[in-house]
Chain A
């Protein structure tokens, strides 16, 4: 995949992740207007302090806020490489869509709407659905 080249870098715990910037409607603080819309615990792990929130549309027009520890800024990358096939098959989440080389380090690119949907349904169901979609 190479369409999503503008990435938003964020941190959950000690790990740095990236997400296509177009998937993030806005960046908020940890104080939610609607606390029930917060998604604190995802396949990426539980944030330590949850100081920021990434507001995304999971695909149904609603807004959910993925809580993270920090937002590190935007980066443009030349390409996003797909996950290795074996890794994609054995992982308990299907919300990781690839890697971008950022400062020579492979950084995981996360499909945030899929991450939220997966959290709502449970990762196993999401994994099954994704695999069925691909035959």
Chain B
């Protein structure tokens, strides 16, 4: 899966999830649901979708890192998108799904209220994010997919910001 530069295209509505070399292709994203909102990020960042195993809680961890779990011998940190974007922790049921994301140098398992999956968005529907959106700091674009708005996140920037927020000054 492709790796992206940190913070690339933070305010650029260009469809980074589109097939490389094909300017007419739709943009491909990976969609999740948080409360009433629908969010998506570049599909190539997602390496797989897995079910959460038993979670090991970490002492002295920030709220957006509810724990780690083992997947095929690899220990993956869980990133709670709801806590990060909305300051509202996701209720993690046993066997809940998570999207394993390679966001720059960081590999994390992203959880949300609902993991939807891949979707394509015609690039003509991508627009600049409106000011004042709750997650505007991390929005790259908004799109209308069916009847609902879709907020396109810069996941690499979001994960980097979470990390920066937690590093002691």
- Report if B147 contacts A (CB, 8 A): no
CA gap between A96 and B61 in the complex, in Å: 11
Q: Which residues of B contact A (CB under 8 A)?
A: 54, 56-62, 65, 68-70, 75-77, 79, 105-108, 159, 162-163, 166-169
Considering the complex of A and B, which 6 residue pairs feature the smallest CB-CB distances, nearest first? A124-B168, A90-B166, A92-B60, A86-B106, A87-B77, A93-B60
- Which parts of A74-104 form the interface with B (CB within 8 Å)? 81, 83-87, 89-93, 96, 99, 101, 104
Nearest chain B residue, comparing its CB with the CB of A43:
B60
With A90-B65, A131-B167: A99-B56 Cβ-Cβ less than 8 Å: yes
Inter-chain contacts of A85 with B (CB < 8 A): 105-107
- Report if A128 contacts B (CB, 8 A): yes
- Report if A58 contacts B (CB, 8 A): no
CA gap between A123 and B169 in the complex, in Å: 11
Inter-chain contacts of B108 with A (CB < 8 A): 84, 86
The answer to whether B77 and A84 have CB atoms under 8 Å apart is yes
Q: Which of A32-40, A63-71, A105-113 is the interface stretch?
A: A105-113
The answer to whether A84 and B107 have CB atoms under 8 Å apart is yes
Instruction: Give min CB distance, A130 to chain B, whole Å.
Output: 10
CA gap between A67 and B80 in the complex, in Å: 32
Nearest chain B residue, comparing its CB with the CB of A122:
B168
The answer to whether B59 and A106 have CB atoms under 8 Å apart is no
The answer to whether A105 and B159 have CB atoms under 8 Å apart is no
Q: Which residues of A contact B (CB under 8 A)?
A: 15, 43-45, 81, 83-87, 89-93, 96, 99, 101, 104-108, 123-125, 127-128, 131
Inter-chain contacts of A89 with B (CB < 8 A): 106, 163, 166-167
The answer to whether B167 and A15 have CB atoms under 8 Å apart is no
The answer to whether A87 and B65 have CB atoms under 8 Å apart is yes
The answer to whether A106 and B107 have CB atoms under 8 Å apart is no
Inter-chain contacts of B65 with A (CB < 8 A): 86-87, 90-91
Inter-chain contacts of A93 with B (CB < 8 A): 59-60
CA gap between A85 and B106 in the complex, in Å: 7
The answer to whether B57 and A101 have CB atoms under 8 Å apart is no
CA gap between A15 and B58 in the complex, in Å: 10
Instruction: Give min CB distance, A58 to chain B, whole Å.
Output: 18
With A81-B75, A85-B106, A101-B70: A91-B61 Cβ-Cβ less than 8 Å: yes
Inter-chain contacts of A123 with B (CB < 8 A): 60, 168
CA gap between A123 and B167 in the complex, in Å: 11
